[in-house]
Structure 1
Amino acid sequence: MTDIYRDDAPGERRAAVVENGNIVEIHIQRDASWALGECGVGRIDRKTPSGAYVVADDGSTLLLRSKINQPDGARISFEVTREAIAEPGRHKPPEISLRDSPHDPLIGKDALWDARVASLGQSVMNASIADGFDVAIAGESQLGDVSISFQRTKAGLVFDIDGIGDAFAINMVAATEVARLLRLYQVGAMALIDFVSMESKAQRTQIAEAFDAASLADPRPFERTAINGYGMMQVVRARPRPSVLDQLFGTRIAALSDETQGYWLLRAVAQSTGFGTRTVTAQPDVATLLQSERWAAWRGQAVRLAGADMVVVADEKAAGYGHVHVAQS
């Protein structure tokens, strides 16, 4: 049985595909970023030999990867063809194409998110999917004596397989689990899997075929190499959106980004109960983000949902991603 869990909060929308009670896909859309298919208006800021950088009306910079005849400063209407992607140490701007009919109504985030959730399935219910982030935050999945650890790099996501006992048995477990994680966190671009090395080419082929079989449930097409004699296999998928890992960690490797901490604190405010003022304690950079003008609308949403005022306190010693305290009034 397949259900769709929807878990929207100020600034961040989540959905999950749930099969037999287990989360198998997580999808996230964040309102601070341009969404795939979203339409907007901006001006050409700087032309390049193969396209142009465009500044949207909200001040963000986007990349057009096709030649354009208009001069610098010209107004254009665009559609997002790839969302912004944060990798360790760097941000890739959203990519856009020119709209053929600039006078058509602009497509916004609400409509795109509703359509995205509807495409996942019909049985939609409001429910938390927070448990689905546990393995992502740990950076490791442990199945008995088999350990599958992973880390983001600029080149892609790297998996390291380890365990106790027979290499073939370890790799068979890992192949299925890696396929599950790639679907769960919607990983695109390149994934490099370092299996425990095996001399037998026939066994390496069996492991690769086990990965293929476990990937059948994932509707996204992919290409892969064979497993070489050193145990390495490369998997490549399209990457129109950032993965859940990209969204959680941003330009960091194994620590939640300031944006993620801010979104999660606003979610905690919105879902809190009681009548007293909500005091949000966060690291200084996160506190600054929460109090910024850009985040004012989401702060307002959180306050309305909580039915109480909210204050933000910066604390360098704040543990985790901070916390929300409800005053006893």
Structure 2
Amino acid sequence: MPEWLREEGIGETRYALVDGDRILAARIAPEGMRRAGEVVRGRLAAVRPRALAKLEDGTEVLLAARPAGVSEGARITIEITRPALPGPEPWKRALGRAVSADVAPVSDAVEATDLPFPPAGRDRLSEAGWDDLLAEADTGRIAFVGGELLVALTPAMTVIDVDGWLKPGELAVAGAAAAGAAIRRLDLQGSIGIDLPSTPGKDARQAAAAALDATLAGEAFERTAVNGFGFLQVVRPRRRPSLLELAHDASAFAARALLRRAARDHGPARLAVNPRVAAVFERHSGWLAALGRQRGGAITLRSDPALAISGGHAEPV
């Protein structure tokens, strides 16, 4: 029976829907990121060209509409409908709507079983392939039997390219199923384009669409038909950044992943990291202090430009 697991780590909270030794779906909520459904207070900062609110911490929120009868500078209550998005368009600010002051917040989190962190005994997320999942988000490459997916961010949509060595009809079906699984695992949302191989005949295209539908059963989504060139579009509600978008901020993504790996051991340590990752830790000094408390020893940094962004590791001292 699939089960949602929740792990409160350093710098982020991790969610995974696990079925045995597989992660079916996942979410990452970075520290400090606003969540959909959160109700906050701010001021109406502008009404043209679009209503804009500014929260007390300086976060700017684009509003769906100007609140009626409210002038610029007035305090308003706002429900966050989507946080700001990392990725190729970092100017995409948070979205929200003005609500009454007594509206109750609606959490975007799932009901999940809490896991201890650092893991005590079994590391259930690692056993289910958490590190492999992060690698998929980082590289955008996902292997399946008969082929490979390449998932990429564009300003218009997330695009999934299907390639492989099966016959076109078989590859279209297998690739559509793999794409649906990737959509769930990487928490892809919004507009998603899937480029399947061109297939002769309507039956093959319908079989590919049916394979995608079966993989996304129970999820909220809409899709187009597969056209004659093998392309279809999937649209899912936009509530938070996908793992692919979080990985686009490569230094912060690598820093938080290293904290999870380093927390599995005990005693003082030195983290050897790329200078860009070191800069992240310097901005978030509390992360290293928290890791030190968990390991029971002081944590220091060694900046090494020869290391890849994702090549950080803990060295005993």
Q: Do both proteins adopt the same fold according to a TM-score greater than 0.5, normalized to the shorter chain?
A: yes
Which residue does 2:79 correspond to in 1? 79
**How many percent identity over aligned positions?**
26
Change (3 A) 1:246 1:58: same
Deviation at 1:230, TM superposition (A): 1.1
Provide the rounded CA distance (Å) in 2 between the counterparts of 1:314 and 1:112: 39
Match of residue 273, structure 2, among 275, 282, 288? 282
Residues in 1 aligned to 2:44 and 2:285: alpha-carbon distance in whole angstroms: 28
Is the Cα–Cα contact under 8 Å of residues 87 and 246 in structure 2 kept in the other structure? no
Aligned equivalent of 1:258:
251
Aligned length: 305
The residue aligned with 1:136 is 137
- Which residue in the other structure is 1:164 paired with? 165
How far apart, CA to CA, are the structure 2 residues paired with 1:46 and 1:131? 44
Which 5+ residue runs of structure 2 have no aligned equivalent? 117-123
Distance 1:117 1:308, change over 3 A: farther
Deviation per CA, 1:220-247, whole angstroms, max 9, x where unpaired? Answer: 2211111111111111111111111111
Give the equivalent residue in structure 1 for 2:233: 234
Are 1:65 and 2:54 matched, yes or no? no
- The answer to whether the Cα contact below 8 Å between 1:39 and 1:79 also exists between their aligned partners in 2 is yes
- Looking at structure 2, the residues matched to 270 and 311 of structure 1 have their Cα atoms a distance apart, in angstroms, of 14
Over 3 Å counting, the alpha-carbon distance change for 1:279 and 1:145 in structure 2 is: same
Per the TM alignment, residue 112 of structure 1 is displaced from its structure 2 partner at its CA by: 4.4
Report SS of the residue matched to 2:47. strand
Specify the SS of the correspondent of 1:92: coil
Where in structure 1 are there 5+ consecutive unaligned residues? 251-256
**1:57–1:269: structure 2 CA closer, same or farther, 3 Å change rule?**
farther
Residue number in structure 1 paired with 2:39: 39
- Which residue of structure 1 aligns with residue 7 of structure 2? 7
Indicate how the Cα distance of structure 1 residues 299 and 325 shifts in structure 2: closer, same or farther if over 3 A, else same.
closer
TM-score of the superposed pair, with normalisation by structure 1: 0.83
Q: What's 1:247 paired with?
A: 246
Deviations 1:251-290 (A, max 9, x none): xxxxxx222122223334443312x2x3223333332222
Q: Could you tell me which amino acid in structure 2 is paired with residue 300 of structure 1?
A: A
Cα separation, 2, equivalents of 1:263 and 1:59: 24
Query: TM-score, with normalisation over the residues of structure 2?
Result: 0.86
Q: Please tell me the root mean square deviation across aligned C-alpha atoms, in Å.
A: 2.5
CA deviation digits over 1:171-209, x for unaligned, max 9? 111111111111111111111111111121222122212
Q: Equivalent residue for 1:146?
A: 147
Aligned to 1:205: 206
Distance 1:42 1:282, change over 3 A: farther
Question: How has the CA–CA distance of structure 1 residues 210 and 324 changed in structure 2, closer, same or farther, with 3 Å as cutoff?
Answer: closer
Structure 1 residues 266, 46: CA separation in 2 closer, same or farther (over 3 Å shift)? farther
Give the structure 2 partner of residue 253 of structure 1: none
Secondary structure at 2:132's aligned position in 1?
A: helix
Q: CA deviation at 1:19?
A: 1.4
Residue of structure 1 in register with 2:120 after alignment:
none
Q: Is the 8 A contact 1:62 1:94 kept in 2?
A: yes
